Amino acid sequence: MITDLKGAVLEMRREEKNLFLYKDNEALTRSNEYAVSALDIVRRYKTSLGEIMGQSEPSILIDKLAAYRSNLGHWDSASIDERQLLEDEIRALGHRIYLSVDSLSKQERKILEAAVQESQWFLLISLFIIGLAIYLVGRQLKRAALTPIKILESRLKPIAKGRFNHLQSPTADREFITFTDAFNRMLNELEIRQRRMLQSEKLASLGILASGVAHELNNPLSNISSSCQLLMEELTEADTHQLNIWLKQIDTETERGQNIVRTLLDFGGQRIFEKNSIKLLDLVDEIKIIIGKTLSQYSARLAINIPTDLMLEVDKQRIQQLFINLIQNALHAAGAGVNVRVSAMVCEKGTSMIPDGAVVAGNLTCINDDDSQFVEIIVADDGPGIPEESLPKVFDPFFTTSQPGQGVGLGLFIVQEIVREHDGCLAIASQPGKGTQVIVLLPSKDFGRG
């Protein structure tokens, strides 16, 4: 409004000068029109202008504009001498009108500056309030979501390593409780399926090993039968010393048969995971008994190079399954006449013998993050090796390079799960024509020397 008013007054003064300097009668008309526009604005916004200028000022300005128009109206009818007087009056009125409007414009500018200053404080206060609100919302969000998520992440790490621990909700929020309940149901189902898969693999191994165990049992049973027949024939004629020898043979062979059956039952039974301290060499010797017939069928030779005092803190049944699977894989892959070597040694941190190009299952934290020693177990064969394109797939479930009927491809997958249960890691290295090595690494907390 004020801008329009000032513009009309300036145009009015410009046309006024054109009238006086160039004697342009049309400028008189235009000057009058601009005066009418200015007068109309002042009358229309008289109240608003009064709040800025003062209540009486708009009326004075109206009077000045009205007088200005009146003088313009007398211009055409005035004589030359009268025009000089009218010109002086019109110039004086125009100047006073301009000064009033210019003063009004300056006051308006001050009001705008004050409003801007006020709005700046309002903006600063608003920004402070918004920042405070963001901070409070962020803290609430962190307490309600981010912190529980971090707690949840830390509790998920053992599960990622293969330990099926039940997950506890980090907060009492319904969403987290629902999530953890669903996750725990999934863990239960996975654990059940893993146990079934492990047991199925063990039963499959038992089927393959049945003939070997029968052969192993046949030897002590034959010796018992022979000793009994000799006892029956020579019971009355043989001296006491000879009778004791035959009876001792019967007792020894009976105990030998019991050990074979106990080993088979321990392997085939279904038990919960439980670590115990065992001598690794004795465990491998038991495995040799179980798979002795299978080794004979393949005309294979099993060489064992394990320190007699090397102890492991492991679940015996799972480690039995591990060795049987690895040896059977070697037999199936290499065929008749293969040489299988089982070795173990205690290594210092950073001295792992994993060759370049080996495929690793899991991570190597058991040797990278542990400051003490670790056990390295190697099961190697001199067979044809694994093709390069098949090597990355060997740990996948149901992947197998064996002939039909010799396995379903769960051997190395089960081995991987067993190693993970013991917080270890697993690697396999192979080159076509140069055999295969499976390296099992167990962290220091899982072994000792007896």
pLDDT of residue 374: 80
3-state secondary structure of 410: coil
Centroid of chain to Cα 128: 35
25 CB neighbour count, 10 Å cutoff:
10
Instruction: Write the CA distances from 336 to 300, 333, 340, integer angstroms.
Output: 6, 10, 11
Asked if residue 179 lies in contact with residue 155, where contact means CB atoms within 8 angstroms, the answer is no
Q: How far apart are CA 31 and CA 16, in angstroms?
A: 6
pLDDT of residue 133: 92
Q: Is the pLDDT of residue 412 over 70?
A: yes
Give the pLDDT band (50/70/90) at residue 251.
confident
Instruction: Write the CA distances from 189 to 17, 183, 192, 415, integer angstroms.
Output: 99, 10, 5, 20
Give me the chain's average pLDDT, please.
78
Asked if residue 277 lies in contact with residue 448, where contact means CB atoms within 8 angstroms, the answer is yes
- Ranges of beta strands (E only) in 274-338 are 276-279, 301-305, 310-314
Give the pLDDT band (50/70/90) at residue 340.
very high
User: Tell me: the pLDDT tens digits for 165-187?
Assistant: 677 777 777 777 888 888 888 87
429 CB neighbour count, 10 Å cutoff:
23
Q: Length of the chain in residues, anyone?
A: 450
3-state secondary structure of 314: strand
Q: Is the pLDDT of residue 447 over 50?
A: no
387, 364, 188, 322 alpha-carbon torsion, rounded to 10°: 60
Mean pLDDT of the 217-228 span: 74
Least confident of 60-74, 219-233, 352-366: 352-366
Q: Is the pLDDT of residue 219 over 80?
A: no
The candidate with the shortest Cα–Cα distance to 279, out of 311, 301, 254, is 311
Query: What is the percentage of the chain residues whose pLDDT exceeds 90?
Result: 5
Superfamily of domain 188-449: Histidine kinase-like ATPase, C-terminal domain (3.30.565.10)
Instruction: Please give the single-letter amino acid code of residue 185.
Output: R
Give the pLDDT band (50/70/90) at residue 408.
very low
pLDDT of residue 343: 92
Give the pLDDT band (50/70/90) at residue 342.
very high
Q: Per DSSP, what are the bridge partners of residue 314?
A: 276
pLDDT of residue 40: 92
Give the pLDDT band (50/70/90) at residue 205.
low
CATH, domain 2-126, list 1.10.3430, 1.20.1440, 1.10.3470, 1.10.287: 1.20.1440
Scanning 171-268, the segments in alpha helix (DSSP H) are 174-234, 240-268
Q: How far apart are CA 19 and CA 30, in angstroms?
A: 10
Most confident of 44-58, 87-101, 217-231, 421-435: 87-101
Q: Is the dihedral of CA 46, 47, 50, 51 positive or negative?
A: negative
Query: What is the percentage of the chain residues whose pLDDT exceeds 70?
Result: 79
Asked if residue 72 lies in contact with residue 90, where contact means CB atoms within 8 angstroms, the answer is yes
3-state secondary structure of 388: coil
User: Tell me: the pLDDT tens digits for 302-318?
Assistant: 999 999 888 888 888 78
Domain definitions of the chain by residue range: 2-126, 188-449
- Ranges of beta strands (E only) in 230-358 are 276-279, 301-305, 310-314, 339-347
Mean pLDDT of the 232-239 span: 77
Largest CA distance in the chain: 181
Q: How far apart are CA 69 and CA 36, in angstroms?
A: 8
434 CB neighbour count, 10 Å cutoff:
12
Least confident of 321-335, 351-365, 367-381: 351-365
pLDDT of residue 130: 94
Global pTM value: 0.46
pLDDT of residue 190: 75
Q: Which residues of 396-419 are buried (b: 16+ CB within 10 A; e: fewer)?
A: eeebbbeeeeebeebbbbbbbbbb
Mean pLDDT of the 203-210 span: 56
Query: Who has greater pLDDT, 430 or 348?
Result: 430
Q: Is the pLDDT of residue 14 over 50?
A: yes
pLDDT of residue 215: 53
pLDDT of residue 406: 47
